[in-house]
């Protein structure tokens, strides 16, 4: 004879299913946590290596930073910090545009690398194409952080001004952070909204 269905039986059954599911998920998390963290660390190190000069010990990432800056790493040199790798993000056309930016102590951009983006394929997504003019113009860049349409020194990606502005803002945030470390003030302006933020650390 089948057991009589009632509220208590249903609650007990659902509780049992949830308990089993939680145990399975917990086990999967425990097994995959270390490999995921190792993969993330390796990805970060590869991105840092792309944007910094060769050689020099890299510090652990520092967090709790100004808006738009996710972390930064210091590269040791013979006389102190030789360069910084700054993980930074800005809002692109399709969503967050995340970069790793190499910055020398004087504020010169050594190189940039795209970590993630949601830009339109064939248009804004060209920002991720290594070797493109848009990307190579950032190597050893020390000009004005704005696209030429806004009076700056950056050649925008054709038909992708919003992406180009976001990329420029993300790089400028990284440079502003580094300049703040050395007592210089730099204002980062969002060309799409006109909002600006002064970067110097107090």
What Rg value do the Cα atoms of the chain yield, rounded? Answer: 23
Tokens of 169: 């803002």
Task: Tell me, yes or no, whether 9 lies in a domain.
Answer: no
Q: Following DSSP, what letter does each residue of 81-104 receive, concatenated?
A: EEEEEEEEEEE-SSSEEEEEEEE-
The two beta strands, 196-198 and 69-77, are unpaired
The 10 Å Cβ neighbour count of residue 169 is: 23
Task: Tell me, yes or no, whether 144 lies in a domain.
Answer: yes
Task: Tell me, yes or no, whether 38 lies in a domain.
Answer: no
Task: Tell me, yes or no, whether 94 lies in a domain.
Answer: yes
C-alpha span between 129 and 173 (Å, rounded): 21
User: Residue 166 has what pLDDT?
Assistant: 97
Q: Which range of residues forms the domain containing residue 178?
A: 52-198
**86 contacts 98 by C-beta, under 8 angstroms:** no
User: Residue 189 has what pLDDT?
Assistant: 66
The DSSP element (H or E) to which 71 belongs, if any, is: strand 69-77
Task: Tell me, yes or no, whether 163 lies in a domain.
Answer: yes
The total of structural domains in the chain comes to: 1
Task: Tell me, yes or no, whether 40 lies in a domain.
Answer: no
Number of H helices, E strands in the chain: 3, 6
User: Residue 196 has what pLDDT?
Assistant: 53
Task: Tell me, yes or no, whether 10 lies in a domain.
Answer: no
Task: Tell me, yes or no, whether 17 lies in a domain.
Answer: no
Q: Which residues of the chain register pLDDT less than 50?
A: 1, 200-202
- Reduced to 3 states (helix: H, G, I; strand: E, B; else coil), residue 26 is helix
**Entry pTM:** 0.76
């Amino acid at each position: 004879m089948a057991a009589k269905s009632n509220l208590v039986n249903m609650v007990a059954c659902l509780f049992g299913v949830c308990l089993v599911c939680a145990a399975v998920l917990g086990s999967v998390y425990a097994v995959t946590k270390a490999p995921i963290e190792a993969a993330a660390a390796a990805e970060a190190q590869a991105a840092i290596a792309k944007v910094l000069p060769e050689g020099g010990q890299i510090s652990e990432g520092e967090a709790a930073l100004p808006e738009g800056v996710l972390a930064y790493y210091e590269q040791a040199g013979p006389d102190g910090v030789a360069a910084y790798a700054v993980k930074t993000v800005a809002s692109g056309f399709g969503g967050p545009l995340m970069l790793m930016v190499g910055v020398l102590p004087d504020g010169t951009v050594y190189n940039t690398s795209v970590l993630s983006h949601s830009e339109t394929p064939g248009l804004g997504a060209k920002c991720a194409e290594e070797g493109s003019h848009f990307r190579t113009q950032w190597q050893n860049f020390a000009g004005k952080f704005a696209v030429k349409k806004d009076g700056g020194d950056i050649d925008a990606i054709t038909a992708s001004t919003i992406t180009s502005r976001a990329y420029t803002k993300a790089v400028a945030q990284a440079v502003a952070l580094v300049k703040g470390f050395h007592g210089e003030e730099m204002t980062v302006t969002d060309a799409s909204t006109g909002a600006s933020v002064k970067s110097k650390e107090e």
